[in-house]
Amino acid sequence: MKAILDSGQIEQILQDLTSHIILDCCQTSSDTPPRLDIAVIGIRSRGEVLAQRLSSRLSRKLGKDVPCGTLDITLYRDDLNSPHGTAQPQVRTTEIGFDIDDKIIILIDDVLYTGRSARAAMDALIDLGRPKAIKLAVLVDRLGRELPIQADYAGYKTDAAPDKLVQVSLVESDGKDEVVIE
């Protein structure tokens, strides 16, 4: 097991992601009004925690409430009926208490690897409405894409071997902030 991010590094990445999102989504030229209609949606379960943290930071920096929601992608996964799967999937709730139409949605996940979770999340979001744009933000971006999906905002890039697991632990769910390769 090798630690690649500690709590201080995760904090710095969240600050950097916040700044990049504001520069990309909320700053425009002087002749047009700023685009402040953004919302943050986290993919269960670690993406949900990261989304809450980013939403708070964005709200403070922008001086306005940035809505935050949680998306469960279980029923949108392409491996749901896989003959190799034996465990019954646990379906949980999607909690988005705002209209996503015409908003810039910042979709948050902890790790981007194959791209399949991000694809499932985009399918789920499109079933809920028509956002102006969907931007993907991840804490860790690793090699091994199976679909043509990339993060708009990535905190840390790793080339972890395919047989390795990138495990994200967060205080809210695991008692500590760290990312390890197992």
List the CATH number of the domain containing 177. Answer: 3.40.50.2020
Which helix (H) or strand (E) element contains residue 54?
Answer: helix 46-62
For 1, 156, 161, the CA distances from 4, given in Å and listed in that order, are 10, 9, 14
55: which 2 tokens? 């939403």
User: For residue 145, what are the domain limits?
Assistant: 2-23+35-77+93-181
What is the pTM for the complete model shown? 0.90
Residue 142 lies in a domain: yes
Residue 82, domain member (yes or no): no
Total number of domains in the chain = 1
158 domain-assigned: yes
With respect to residue 144, please indicate whether it lies within any of the assigned structural domains: yes
pLDDT digits (tens, 9 = 90+) for 37-82: 999 999 998 999 999 999 999 999 999 999 999 999 988 887 665 5
Q: How many CB atoms lie under 10 A from the CB of residue 35?
A: 15
**Does any domain span residue 12?**
yes
